[in-house]
Chains A and B, each alone.
Chain A
Amino acid sequence: MMYRYIILLVACVTTVQVVHAQQEKLQVRIGYLSQQEDVLAPLSLLDLEIEDNGVPGARLANKENSTTGQFTNQAFSLEEAIVDEDGDVVMEFARLVQGGLSLFIVDLPADKILQIADSKAAKGKLLFSVRAQEDRLRQNDCRGNVLHIAPSRVMLADALAQYLVWKRWNKWFLMIGKHPQDVAFADAIKRSSKRFGGKIIGEQQWTFDAGARRTDSGHVTAQQEVPAATQVDDYDVMIVADEGDEFGEYLPYRTFRPRPVAGTQGLMPTAWHRSHEQWGGTQLQRRFKKLAGRDMTPRDYAAWAAVRSIGEATTQIKSAKANDVKAFLFSDKFKLAGFKGVPLTYRDWNGQLRQPVLIVGPRMLVTVSPQKEFLHEYSPLDTLGYDRPESKCKAF
């Protein structure tokens, strides 16, 4: 390994001497801002509790940018700031801006993103949101200095809806968790049903307590509870809205009727999944696993895509100024190779990254939306989420 590095170094030095003898290295500094919190414990014991969700994706992209930078005379760095649970992220953001940063990956919930985006320090800076799925951040609450790498709930719901409609599984029953984000996911599904011709034949709130993750004979309880709770009018697919992973995993194979389960569990729409290996995806999965020692999550993928976006832009424009980067990302020259078969670009009406959405089972990729039968005058990718004519965002 050492031997390889030496060769690489020699090669770089030669390049630098030939091409860039007079030029100064362009410094591209990227901040990663997040906050410590309780880690979500997945219901399935097979899934890991992930302590560092997101960060390794940014680290991998920074490594990739740096490799390119060695050939283009650019130095990339990632400065990670993970604030304590009771710390103040807005203050930390201001501190980082003081230190000269202007490009940020923000791995935070919606409210915190808005606080930061509206703070004085954020003027002229560029934030890449990699977690918040709230559609309001792309609509009424959009901000001109915030780009959205994670797909919104509506994009995910549209992607799932297109596939269900393509299958002619048009009648949906909604099983909704008790948290506001579960209701938000269910609302997104309802919107998609109207858009693509699905029919919600009924909905119900899941009322049982989540209970402990590890229980002896837990399956006995689930076997009794689930059929009782799902004895409803006939439907084609049960769509579950359980973002906190509290009960959805109990539904498949236990519903009263022999019907598939989709939504936040079962057949899921997602930005990224460990089973995805199309379009060279294997390479990204392998690189990530080597670096992080675990599979890539949707948030890792978003952080990767954000840092790679900055890398692509700064390599092309030879500038690391936030405004220049933003202008390039919205130009027709920007095309990110995101291992999803088509170039990824940004919507200039709300700052959302246009991207295909994977539809996956727990262990296999099933399909990728948009489904090709859903046409669009500009880009099929714009059949997912709020399209230009529906946009309420005025900040761009």
Chain B
Amino acid sequence: MDSYLTKSVTSRIAIGFSLAVSFLSSANAYTVYVSSEKDNTITVIDGESLEVLDTIEVGERPRGLELSKDNKQLYICTSDDDHVEVLDLETLKVTHTLPSGPDPELMTLGPDGKRLYVANEDDNMVTVVDVDTKQMVVEIPVGIEPEGVGISPDGKWLVNTSETTNMAHFINLDTLEIEANVLVDTRPRVAQFTPDGKQAWISSEIGGTVSVIDTESKEIIQKIEFEIPGIRKEAIQPVGVKINSTGDKVFIALGPAARIAVVNASTFEVEKYLLVGQRVWNLAFSPDETRIFTTNGVSSDVSVIDVESLKVLKSVKVGRLPWGVITRP
């Protein structure tokens, strides 16, 4: 008991120290926004002090989050209200909604900041919305239960995953037509392009793998598997995927395994597993990429990871069933 206390005090001092260091060393303050699908709230956290600044009530079942290009607005998929809500980040009030099609889950903003691409889980569609005119531009039919949407940095390709069809659909954004369908493992979730646009990384929740697809050939060049001692295979359910801006490290949230896998993007080797909260779904880098924030659904908190030391610094209590997370400079 004594040694535990000592250790805990020491580690708290260590955390306090590293917090103080990062506070001193960091140039810019930033804010973290977390959606909680059970509580229907957005929790606002100060990225440096990790204090909860505010909790904002929004529509039913908020999940996917995206920032406007000028960082002034937060787009929120309020799934059970069948629209996207737009939160003004100055006043912290919902100013208007966007027509997203039914049951929006995840979305991504095009490089021009004008078009929002939304996956409609209930409707087998990807809906394209003009955020300025607030109009639906077009609906693209895809497989069953569309989920993840990722856009290549050059704005040429949109990759959408469909959970029941088990595919990554490559949609040409000039023609808005599907040009290739890549079969991946069961229940694909998140799609992320590498910064050079040469690969798309697709997580498969039930399949337990991440497929790396070559953008040019549309073929799977690598399938990453995970193995954690003491964790049963079926609890390893990859969902959130984040690739750093230099394109050398990938962070993958493993759901009920309560771990983040840190993957070397050139060797595809898992370098480390970090213990976070239960049912970790999604993650986000701080703007300077020194930290990662993860949403832990079952433990209703956010884990904060120091990217350089690959250590978990702290967990922050948020609303029930946290789902999406995004940071704003």
Which of A67-75, A198-206, A252-260 binds B?
A67-75
The residues in B between 273 and 301 inclusive whose CB is less than 8 angstroms from any CB of A are none
- Cβ contact of B141, chosen from A8, A72, A286, A336, cutoff 8 A: A8
Provide the B112-134 mask, 1 if CB < 8 A to any CB of A, else 0.
Answer: 00000000011011000000000
A15, B185: Cα distance in complex, Å: 20
A343 and B181 form a contact (CB under 8 A): no
* Shortest CB distance B184–A (Å): 11
Q: Is A232 at the interface (CB under 8 A from chain B)?
A: no
* With known contacts A11-B178, A380-B232, A67–B166 Cβ distance under 8 A: no
B228 — which chain A residues lie within 8 A by C-beta?
A: none
Q: Is B140 at the interface (CB under 8 A from chain A)?
A: yes
A287 — which chain B residues lie within 8 A by C-beta?
A: 144
The residues in A between 63 and 105 inclusive whose CB is less than 8 angstroms from any CB of B are 64, 67-68, 71-72
A335 — which chain B residues lie within 8 A by C-beta?
A: 185-186, 206-208
B143 and A68 form a contact (CB under 8 A): yes
A283 and B177 form a contact (CB under 8 A): no
Q: Is B167 at the interface (CB under 8 A from chain A)?
A: yes
Is chain B's interface secondary structure helix, strand, loop, or mixed overall? Answer: loop
Q: Is B165 at the interface (CB under 8 A from chain A)?
A: yes
Q: Is A362 at the interface (CB under 8 A from chain B)?
A: no
* Shortest CB distance A31–B (Å): 23
Q: Is A18 at the interface (CB under 8 A from chain B)?
A: yes
- Cβ contact of B163, chosen from A10, A11, A15, A337, cutoff 8 A: A337
- Cβ contact of A67, chosen from B140, B165, B177, B185, cutoff 8 A: B165
Q: Is A19 at the interface (CB under 8 A from chain B)?
A: yes
Q: Is B139 at the interface (CB under 8 A from chain A)?
A: yes
A380, B125: Cα distance in complex, Å: 36
* With known contacts A14-B177, A19-B180, A71–B122 Cβ distance under 8 A: no
B177 and A315 form a contact (CB under 8 A): no
* Shortest CB distance B200–A (Å): 17
Q: Is A215 at the interface (CB under 8 A from chain B)?
A: no
A15 and B166 form a contact (CB under 8 A): no
Q: Is B71 at the interface (CB under 8 A from chain A)?
A: no
A18 and B186 form a contact (CB under 8 A): no
A41 — which chain B residues lie within 8 A by C-beta?
A: none
B141 and A337 form a contact (CB under 8 A): no
The residues in B between 38 and 76 inclusive whose CB is less than 8 angstroms from any CB of A are none
B177 and A64 form a contact (CB under 8 A): no
A312, B166: Cα distance in complex, Å: 9
B183 and A316 form a contact (CB under 8 A): yes
A71 and B179 form a contact (CB under 8 A): no
A14 and B179 form a contact (CB under 8 A): yes
* With known contacts A337-B164, A380-B232, A72–B183 Cβ distance under 8 A: yes
A11 and B167 form a contact (CB under 8 A): no
A67 and B206 form a contact (CB under 8 A): no
A337 — which chain B residues lie within 8 A by C-beta?
A: 163-164, 166, 186-187, 205-206
The residues in A between 343 and 376 inclusive whose CB is less than 8 angstroms from any CB of B are 343
B141 and A343 form a contact (CB under 8 A): no
Q: Is A124 at the interface (CB under 8 A from chain B)?
A: no
Q: Is A4 at the interface (CB under 8 A from chain B)?
A: yes
Q: Is A280 at the interface (CB under 8 A from chain B)?
A: yes
A314, B125: Cα distance in complex, Å: 25
Q: Is B234 at the interface (CB under 8 A from chain A)?
A: yes
Q: Closest B-chain residue to A63, C-beta based?
A: B144
* With known contacts A312-B186, A315-B166, A337-B187, A67–B179 Cβ distance under 8 A: no
B140 and A7 form a contact (CB under 8 A): yes
The residues in A between 255 and 287 inclusive whose CB is less than 8 angstroms from any CB of B are 280, 283, 286-287
B180 — which chain A residues lie within 8 A by C-beta?
A: 15, 18-19
Q: A71-B165, A280-B121, A283-B122 are in contact. List 18 more A-B contacts (CB 8 A).
A: A4-B139, A11-B178, A15-B179, A19-B181, A64-B165, A67-B143, A67-B165, A68-B143, A280-B145, A312-B166, A335-B185, A335-B206, A335-B208, A337-B166, A337-B187, A341-B256, A343-B186, A379-B234
Residues of A within 8 A of B (CB): 4, 7-8, 10-11, 14-15, 18-19, 64, 67-68, 71-72, 280, 283, 286-287, 312, 315-316, 335-337, 341-343, 379-380
Nearest 10 CB-CB pairings of A with B: A71-B181, A8-B141, A337-B187, A337-B206, A342-B234, A68-B165, A335-B186, A343-B206, A337-B186, A11-B178
Q: What are 10 A-B residue pairs whose CB atoms fall within 8 Å in the complex?
A: A10-B177, A15-B180, A19-B181, A67-B124, A68-B166, A72-B183, A283-B163, A337-B163, A337-B187, A343-B206
